[in-house]
Copies of this chain bind each other. A is one copy, B any other.
């Protein structure tokens, strides 16, 4: 213990950026704070790192407390550590981002935390440096989703190709050609036909697919230029 005696110990926080997709637009799960500091303002869900707790574990705990979900896609984004980012006391924040199937959420838990799903288009200003965190997270999501098929994490287990396309269009804020999109996705061999059809569709009912998990895992290691046309839209 004596060896590190003279160094400063610092508060370590975690913040979670939780992405969801409702079929139309990309959403964030945000909290309207009913606690200090910054009472009444919007922020990301966060908390402090506990003794005896791994970083990854802490991020999972925070995510679970808010959404009732475990085993979601959860990835460390970046650590933010400018000196005055938290005006109360110097705190560095290890930020994770998560992709969630919005249908699986625990509504009660979310309400208890005074949280709601907000469209990225109508995102309010957040406290501290949380806006910057969201910017970086969105950039990362765009970057990764063009190279790895992580988009599926935002969809229900059964989905149609047009739904998947709408998701990508929401992530990148762009329009894609239906026919080329379909061809490319099919070429990846990532979709397994269920034989069922989408009963919710208002017009023609599309075919429902599930994800081919074995193939999915292969695409997560290494990368694959999923959607080349999105390259310029992905921040570096």
Residues of A whose CB lies within 8 Å of any CB of B are 1, 3-4, 7-12, 36-37, 48-56, 76, 78-83, 88-92, 94, 143, 146-148, 220-225, 228, 231-236
Contact = CB atoms under 8 A, between A and B. Distances in A.
A83 B50 CA distance: 10
A236 B73 CA distance: 14
A79 to B, nearest CB: 5
Contact of A88 (B4, B56, B76, B82): B4
B3 A51 contact: no
Q: How many copies does the complex hold?
A: 2
A142 to B, nearest CB: 10
The secondary structure that dominates the A interface is loop
Nearest to A37: B3
A148 B49 contact: no
A14 B52 CA distance: 20
B92 A55 contact: yes
Contacts of A234: 222-223
